[in-house]
Amino acid sequence: MRRHTAVPWILPFLLFIGLLALQQIVRVPIWVRFVIPVAAILGVSRVALRGGPSRPALSVLIGLAVFVIWIAPDALAPSWHHFILFDNKIVGHPAANTPPAERHDLVFLTFRVAVSVAAVPILEELFWRGWLMRWLIDSKDFERVPLGTFAWSSFWLTALLFASEHGSFWDVGLAAGIIYNWWMVRTRNLWDCILAHAVTNAVLAAYVIGAGQWQYWL
């Protein structure tokens, strides 16, 4: 399976999404939702993750900016995500799905933060900006397309699909997708996007736990 060129880029994401779908049917322990994608990253994705960030300081600042954008609508207008565009049967509802008991469970919180900060940025950047943006340009041989290659169709379709992944928060998800896509085009470095994404998720996790804003943890 490792020989298929797309596997290192898409397998961790597909496993993660599969576990989320399974969670709707039967309870999947949070440590499982961390261990399985990380095992896939370590097992098959290392070849796609060589190197490191080229602009770490700016990547951190971009991650912080995306966090501000993420919470700004609700901070400025608390009913924002209860408008019909964001609160309906199609996109879902902006409600917390973390059970009250788990909000005070140190083991759960540790693994939940680890999923958000360590696993999700890697598996999502591998899939969205490492694979999909290039596959939409050349579906027959995406690896011939350098990382960060710009094409209007792939840029905007990737941003829109990334937004759709975030349910009721698709508006800020779209803004985040545009920014991360832009940063990939500017740096042509997957690790810069991973770092920015990880910073966003780390600060958001601190905000969720510290301010009790559990609705942001989908």
3-state secondary structure the chain: CCCCCCHHHHHHHHHHHHHHHHHCCCCCCHHHHHHHHHHHHHHHCHHHHCCCCCCHHHHHHHHHHHHHHHHHHHHHCCCHHHCCCCCECCCECCCCCCCHHHHHCHHHHHHHHHHHHHHHHHHHHHHHHHHHHHHCCCCCCHHHCCCCCCCHHHHHHHHHHHHHCCHHHHHHHHHHHHHHHHHHHHHCCHHHHHHHHHHHHHHHHHHHHHHCCHHHCC
In angstroms, rounded to a whole number, what is the distance separating the alpha carbons of residues 5 and 179?
27
Q: Is residue 44 part of a domain?
A: no
Three-state secondary-structure class, residue 125: helix
Rg (CA), the chain: 17
Domain tally, the chain: 1
In a domain, 193, yes or no: yes
Instruction: Flag whether 47 is in a domain.
Output: no
Question: How far is C-alpha 33 from the geometric centre of its chain's CA atoms?
Answer: 14
Q: How far is CA 191 from CA 6, 42, 165, in A?
A: 18, 15, 21
The answer to whether position 25 is within a domain reads no
Instruction: Identify the pLDDT of residue 2.
Output: 47
What's the confidence (pLDDT) of residue 1? 45
pLDDT at 3: 55
Q: Scan for tokens 């999909």, then name that residue.
A: 132
Tokens linked to 173: 């998800």
Q: Position of tokens 């740096």? A: 187
pLDDT in tens, the chain (218 residues): 445 899 999 999 999 999 999 998 999 999 999 999 999 999 999 999 999 999 999 999 999 999 999 999 999 999 999 999 999 999 999 998 899 999 999 999 999 999 999 999 999 999 999 999 999 999 999 999 999 999 999 999 999 999 999 999 999 999 999 999 999 999 999 999 999 999 999 999 999 999 999 999 98
For the record, the structure tokens of 47 come out as 């070849």
Per the domain annotation, does 18 fall within a domain? no
Residue 88 lies in a domain: yes
- Domain contains 37: no
Domain range spanning residue 155?
Answer: 52-216
End-to-end CA distance of the chain: 31
